Amino acid sequence: MACGNNCTCSQNNSGNHDNSRRDFLFKGLMGGIGAAFLSGCSSNDNTKPESGEKVNVLTHDGKLVSVDKSQVANFKPHISEDDVRKGIPGKKFVMVIDLAKCDGCGKCTKACNKMHYLPSNKEWIEVLEMQDSPDVSPYYFVKPCMHCDNPPCTKVCPVDATFKREDGIVAIDNERCIGCRFCMAACPYSVRLFNWTEPVKPNIIETTPAAENVFQSKKGCVEKCDFCPHMAREGKLPACVTGCPMNAIWFGDANEDAVTCYDGTTTKLSQLLEDGGAYRFLEELGTEPRVYYLPPVNRTYDAKEIKIGKEGSEK
């Protein structure tokens, strides 16, 4: 692609140098319209070295100006609705959670909430205290959205607001959601949340279509963990992974057969699953989740400290 990104917008890259420059400028215009807000203050910044490449941007008072690319901050490639529905090409995201390492600190939840501007009473990734039977040890169970390959939620959505992408992510388009909450009834993992009231909006500008927004909360619509596709597009890990100091959460691309955790340790996915005796939660339901769990063997913390929250307990 002329802009150097693996997206699928239907811009025709003929390979002609002039064309690719035009394409680039066109995309620059699109990106620049959003980025122009950010560059509003940087337009007087003459300390950055000039790159020699010019980009057309629309200023906040409606003028079209040509500025050096170095003056435009955070230049992001244009992502279309089709891109968001199709997913990031060539990737198949997968998560591995090592229950032996999770000590229930909840930093993953806090990191996720910070990234997606969620209040503390919402949890896209939840840390539960589980005990499978009375005589076995309790353990902390980390529960993000499983992004199932046979998702019960997308089957029942009447308007295609929640959909499965080719890169494995199950996304929600809150411009399409009608708020019927059938997906919430259908999800056996209880990972979906609903905006019963008007959420507090952060002061940010989104440059992507709704389904890949950082702030997903819209009154009367459903939201859930999205595997942070806006981070993945930049080659960065989701918030929960970088927020987990115990290296309990691994994230990666199954096509590449590699997953990475907080401190950058990257390992072969197939090796990790085989050595760790990985399993999937509620496998018997046939939802085919994309989150694997490594059983809590040789835990790094003392299980006796875990207090199992009473069923239906309130904070």
Question: Is 282 one of the binding residues for other proteins (CB under 8 A)?
Answer: yes
Residue of the chain from 40, 90, 245, 277 that contacts other proteins (CB under 8 A)? 90
Q: Which is nearer to other proteins, 55 or 94 (CB)?
A: 94
Question: Is 276 one of the binding residues for other proteins (CB under 8 A)?
Answer: no
CA-based diameter of the chain, in Å?
A: 71
Site string for other proteins, 175-204 (x = CB under 8 A): -xxxxxxx-xxx-xxx-xxxxxxx------
Q: Which two tokens stand for residue 30?
A: 């699109």
Query: What one-character-per-residue DSSP string does 47-111 give?
Result: -SPP-S-EEEEE-TTS-EEEEEGGGS-S------HHHHHH-STT--EEEEEETTT-----HHHHH
Residue of the chain from 14, 16, 51, 150 that contacts other proteins (CB under 8 A)? 150
Residue of the chain from 252, 290, 292, 296 that contacts other proteins (CB under 8 A)? 252
CA-closest candidate to residue 117, choices 206, 8, 18: 206
Q: What is the DSSP letter of 23?
A: H
Question: Is 89 one of the binding residues for other proteins (CB under 8 A)?
Answer: yes
Question: Is 305 one of the binding residues for other proteins (CB under 8 A)?
Answer: no
Pairing of strands 193-194, 54-58: unpaired
Q: Which two tokens stand for residue 159?
A: 């308007």
Task: Report the nearest approach of other proteins to the CB of residue 112 (Å).
Answer: 16
Residue of the chain from 151, 229, 243, 296 that contacts other proteins (CB under 8 A)? 151
Q: In this chain, which stretch among 41-49, 74-82, 160-168, 206-214 interacts with other proteins, using CB under 8 A?
A: 160-168
